[in-house]
Amino acid sequence: MNPEGRTWYLISRLSKLARRTRRPAQTRVLRLSIAARDHGTLSTFRIHSEILFAPHCRAWTLDVLNSFPLTTLSISGRGVPTDVLDTLLSQTEIPTLSDLSLVKCEITRSGLHRFLARHPSITSLHFDDLPESVFVPDVSVLLWGPLPDFLPRLATLSAAAPKVACILHAMPHTAALRTVRVHSAMDKFDILIADISLIGFAPRLAPPIALSLVLPVPDVLRSIPDLDRAFSTNSTLQTTVSTLEFVFGDSAARALATYVALARLAAFPMLRTIELVGGDGADTARILAAFQARAPGVERVVWRTT
């Protein structure tokens, strides 16, 4: 087995050992081989285990981040202390990075903003379950306007509405932006909050940008939200959403047909695409019939089954 392969094998074994014992594993840090670096064999790095943030693996993790021409980086930091995450981000610089995903990371606002500012090559950004305090606009942004050269190549942005608004506020230009996915819970209050968060951004979210509203469908539908009544007076979502994305589990497929048939899809005059994510596709004909009845303007239906 080559040195790089042995390193990956060791980390895998350490992760399993730590989960079984819940005690710090005793090992030495292995440096990545020069051959592995020279060949640039790693382009995607997903840090989805606490073991990679542990003291005995942290140097190895940083070595990987700073040694390879990574294009995709995904970090899931549930349970990882804020100072550890901030240190990791502050010591990382990846000139080739294009796709960044941060999930459940207790990072600070300054730590995230500095990392993003150092990586103008980012084209795709995904945030999920990050602290709200991270997205309070920086005082300099409020006083002087957008940050110069902040994410100039960003083409895809996916996050909850307040986070989308914060990123847009910091960006001086959105010429490269093509897709914005706004995540919201399936109730009138959350949709209203999402709508209010984006007030004033309608001109920056107009075509050619495709604006999607991502809605999880619960397994049990206790009530059918009246979407016509869920928007503010100067609604951004209502006038600019071109795609509705429903995300549901296996047991929600049948409920989805009823939901779609009764929900007020006509509330979105610009709606052209409906995406279904998850489920088994068993009720396809019934759901398509419901779409035709309630949303005649829809041109495309995409169903990605699990």
pLDDT of residue 18: 46
pLDDT of residue 269: 84
H helical segments located in 91-138: 109-117
pLDDT of residue 206: 87
- Tokens encoding 246: 């429903």
- Strands 99-103 and 72-76 turn out to be parallel
pLDDT of residue 12: 45
Q: Which domains does the chain have, with CATH numbers?
A: 1-177 (3.80.10), 180-306 (no CATH)
Position 132 confidence tier, pLDDT thresholds 50, 70, 90: confident
pLDDT of residue 302: 84
pLDDT of residue 19: 45
pLDDT of residue 230: 65
Mean pLDDT of the chain: 79
Provide the percentage of residues in the chain whose pLDDT is more than 90. Answer: 34
Please tell me the least confidently modeled range out of 95-109, 156-170, 259-273, 291-305. Answer: 259-273
The top-scoring range by mean pLDDT among 21-30, 44-53, 282-291 is 44-53
Pick the more confident residue, 201 or 29.
201
Which segments within 114-177 are labelled E, that is strand?
Answer: 124-128, 156-160
Which of 243, 158, 229 minimizes the C-alpha distance to 189? 229
Provide the percentage of residues in the chain whose pLDDT is more than 70. Answer: 71
For the chain, give the number of residues.
306
Please tell me the least confidently modeled range out of 102-116, 142-156, 209-223, 255-269. Answer: 255-269
Pick the more confident residue, 12 or 79.
79
Q: pLDDT by residue (tens digit) across 55-90?
A: 999 999 999 999 999 999 999 988 899 999 999 999
pLDDT of residue 290 exceeding 60, the answer is yes
pLDDT of residue 141: 54
pLDDT of residue 235 exceeding 90, the answer is no
Please tell me the least confidently modeled range out of 12-21, 144-153, 212-221. Answer: 12-21
Q: pLDDT by residue (tens digit) across 141-197?
A: 554 456 778 999 999 999 999 899 989 988 888 889 999 999 988 777 888 888 888
Which segments within the chain are labelled E, that is strand?
Answer: 44-47, 72-76, 99-103, 124-128, 156-160, 179-183, 210-217, 241-248, 273-277, 300-304
Across-strand partners of 300?
Answer: 273
Distance CA 190, CA 193 (A): 5
Pick the more confident residue, 46 or 235.
46
Query: Quick one: CA dihedral 19, 24, 30, 31, positive or negative?
Result: positive
Pick the more confident residue, 115 or 9.
115
Across-strand partners of 75?
Answer: 47, 102
pLDDT of residue 292: 75
pLDDT of residue 200 exceeding 70, the answer is yes
Position 210 confidence tier, pLDDT thresholds 50, 70, 90: very high
Whether the CB-CB separation of 267 and 231 falls below 8 Å is answered with yes
pLDDT of residue 261: 53
